[in-house]
Amino acid sequence: MLVLSLSFIHFGKLPYTNIFLSITSDILHQLYQGIIKHLIQWLKESIGEAELDARCRRLPPNHNIRLFMKGISHLNRVTGREHDQISRFLLSLIIDVQLPGGLSPVCLVEAVHGILDFTYIAQYPMHTTEALAHLEESRMLFHRNKDIFVDLGICENFNFPKLHSTAHYPDNIMNFGTSDNYNTEYTERLHIDLAKDAYRSTNRKDEFLQMTLWLERKEKILRHDQFIHWKARGSPAPPIIENLHPGIIYECQLSMSKHPTHKSVKFSTLETTYGASFFRDALSRYVVGLIEPELSAAQIE
């Protein structure tokens, strides 16, 4: 019997907070360690592990990809980097495959094609409206052909969170920028620097305080070392970026004063001089939300 237990979420009653918008996409764990991992398992069951490995061994040498001459079916604890390397030749393994029951491989190829296109388009360092449209089209290409895995008896449905998360990639890119801004692949290396190395420096008793102090000192040493090298080079100015793409602002700074230029400004002045037409209403809602946190947004209005 399923039993549900209610618990209080600390951010549940924060005013003007949408926790769902703060959940960003993750190329490493959602795509490479998620969907690509599922896809490889589906292909193993579709054409058989022996045939899949044999096709891996028949791939021609290539300087741009890593070849798995012993196949990929026996791999355990595959890393995100290995899934990335496998993705580069995965489509070539199934181009002319023969499926059980005489099923056409067209839908299988299209489904794999859609997932791989989505994975690579999502990693573009720069996006346009057309690129986001191609991203969504790649996702829909998979969904239009995914039933081939059901027909082969591999899976019953596709109701798992990592596949659902792909629907939010265009919105996340528009709200937070390109996916390299929040992809955990770039911070994965810090598990060693910020956790393992820091823990080894402690005496294993009350380690958190020691780890924090060790990391703080290490960061100060690194910053000072960079400053010394900069001074030793004659304090050069920042390099000038050449071949800039027209119409894009590469350097953007926001300046804010430490102290206000005017104090005790009237609401009417804020509306007429500064254009803050709804400042009074916004401030009222904010104050009420702080004083009466149990009120809903509709009640505050």
pLDDT in tens, the chain (301 residues): 566 666 777 777 777 778 888 889 999 999 999 999 999 999 999 999 999 999 999 999 888 888 898 999 999 889 999 999 999 999 999 998 989 888 999 999 999 999 999 999 999 999 999 999 999 999 999 999 999 999 999 988 999 999 999 999 999 999 999 999 999 988 887 877 788 889 999 999 989 999 999 999 999 999 999 999 999 999 998 877 676 666 666 667 778 888 888 888 898 898 888 888 888 888 888 898 888 888 887 788 7
Q: What is the pLDDT of residue 3?
A: 64
Q: What is the pLDDT of residue 276?
A: 86
Q: What is the pLDDT of residue 259?
A: 87
Q: How far apart are CA 231 and CA 228, in angstroms?
A: 5
Q: How far apart are CA 298 and CA 285, in angstroms?
A: 11
Q: What is the pLDDT of residue 221?
A: 96
Q: Which residues contact 167 (CB under 8 A, 6 or more apart)?
A: 139
Q: What is the CA radius of gyration of the chain?
A: 27
Q: Could you tell me how many residues make up the chain?
A: 301
For the record, the structure tokens of 176 come out as: 């937070």
Q: Which residues contact 27 (CB under 8 A, 6 or more apart)?
A: 119, 122, 123, 179, 183, 185
Q: Which residues contact 204 (CB under 8 A, 6 or more apart)?
A: none
Cα torsion 173, 179, 181, 182: sign = positive
Burial label for 179, CB within 10 Å (0-12, 13-18, 19+), is: buried
Burial label for 173, CB within 10 Å (0-12, 13-18, 19+), is: buried
